[in-house]
Amino acid sequence: MGKLLLIGCGKMGGAMLDGWLTRGLAASDVIVAEPVEALRPRKPGLRTVASTPDVRETPEIVVLAVKPQTMDAALADLKRFASEGTVFLSIAAGKTLGYFASHLGATAKVVRAMPNTPAAVRQGITVATAAKGVSAAEKKRCQELLEAVGQALWVEDEALMDPVTALSGSGPAYVFLLVEVMAAAGAKLGLAPDMAMQLARATVAGSCELLRQSVEPAAQLRVNVTSPGGTTAEALKVLMADDGLQPIFDKALAAASRRSKELAG
Ligand SMILES: NC(=O)c1ccc[n+]([C@@H]2O[C@H](COP(=O)([O-])OP(=O)(O)OC[C@H]3O[C@@H](n4cnc5c(N)ncnc54)[C@H](OP(=O)(O)O)[C@@H]3O)[C@@H](O)[C@H]2O)c1
């Protein structure tokens, strides 16, 4: 196997690197390019550089984990690898296959992926889409790299990356907001704010873990805690009403998906 070159070792890049090494990827097979010295990992056998012109050998895969706004600058030097058959795996939000083709050349092998922040605890989910020239074996290799931080799925139609971004990319924020609004609602009913937050946080975190471990559908887990005529049923009448959570989420995800499309240009 050739070298893996990681561009950017911030929150996402760092989480992916940890996942790869934990899963047995040899540190000597990875080169990390990261301008911020404090973020450059120090691990036996792992080579780090401040900037990519210092990398002479052609990597098998370049993982692009820089912010979208610094992508142009990063690609200016990396373009030289595109004609050598290197696969580019990008996790940058809103950077399309067309964008990469215009910067790296129309025949560049590019995989565009959208991970999410639970990747930091290896419970992420990533959706990826590949440019035409990427082989099944190269997709499999990218899949292995993405699975080091959670699950990975593929879509053929790149347009689906907008709703994916709206659902799973931005989704962790909706869950954290749920904790905030549950805590605020509890406080309004008389609980001390600290206690309300502790209850809301533990309830959402515990329920997420239950969901993760269970094979039952989410709807069944909901039914399991809803006794007929009880307190949960009373709350769900409000949350599941015609003007309850569903229309709000329909509106929120549509807005996020629209924004994802706009950002992609
Ligand atoms: N965090 C999320 O929730 C999330 C979810 C899905 C996708 N993503 C995507 O993941 C990507 C990374 O996000 P992040 O939150 O991990 O960002 P981050 O913490 O800012 O990490 C990016 C790192 O890359 C460095 N960098 C910039 N230009 C570079 C270059 N030319 N060569 C090498 N390193 C370079 C940055 O240094 P400087 O600070 O000096 O620029 C920074 O340390 C983004 O494109 C984002 O869209 C993030």
According to the model, what pLDDT value does residue 1 have? Answer: 60
According to the model, what pLDDT value does residue 264 have? Answer: 83
The alpha carbon dihedral of 154, 66, 7, 72 has a sign of positive
Considering the chain, what percentage of its residues have pLDDT values greater than 70? 100
- Name the DSSP letter for residue 264: H
Tens digit of each residue's pLDDT (9 = 90 or more) over 169-184: 999 999 999 999 999 9
Considering the chain, what percentage of its residues have pLDDT values greater than 90? 98
pLDDT at 265 over 80: no
Q: Establish how many alpha carbons lie within 13 A of residue 81's alpha carbon, considering only the half-sphere containing its beta carbon.
A: 26
Tens digit of each residue's pLDDT (9 = 90 or more) over 209-228: 999 999 999 999 999 999 99
According to the model, what pLDDT value does residue 177 have? Answer: 98
CA angle 147, 150, 155 (to 5 degrees): 65
Q: What is the pLDDT confidence band of residue 53, given thresholds at 50, 70 and 90?
A: very high
- Name the DSSP letter for residue 164: H
* Average pLDDT of the chain, as a whole number: 96
User: 171-264 falls under which CATH superfamily?
Assistant: ProC C-terminal domain-like (1.10.3730.10)
Which backbone phi and psi does 140 adopt, to 5 degrees? -65, -40
The binding-site residues of ligand 1, defined as CB within 6 angstroms of any ligand atom, are 7-8, 10-13, 33-36, 39, 52, 65-68, 70, 73-74, 91-93, 114-117, 169
Tell me the sheet residues that pair with 151.
125
According to the model, what pLDDT value does residue 2 have? Answer: 73
Token pair recorded at residue 173: 């924020």
According to the model, what pLDDT value does residue 132 have? Answer: 94
Which backbone phi and psi does 114 adopt, to 5 degrees? -125, 100
Quickly name the fold that domain 4-156 has: Rossmann fold (3.40.50)
Tens digit of each residue's pLDDT (9 = 90 or more) over 133-153: 999 999 999 999 999 999 999
Q: What is the pLDDT confidence band of residue 20, given thresholds at 50, 70 and 90?
A: very high
For ligand 1, pick from 49, 63, 64, 70 the residue to mutate: most ligand atoms within 8 Å of CB.
Answer: 70
CA 36 to ligand 1 centroid distance, Å: 11
Please give the model's pTM, rounded to 2 decimal places. Answer: 0.94
According to the model, what pLDDT value does residue 198 have? Answer: 98
Token pair recorded at residue 168: 């799973």
CA 64 to ligand 1 centroid distance, Å: 8
Q: What residue ranges do the domains of the chain occupy?
A: 4-156, 171-264
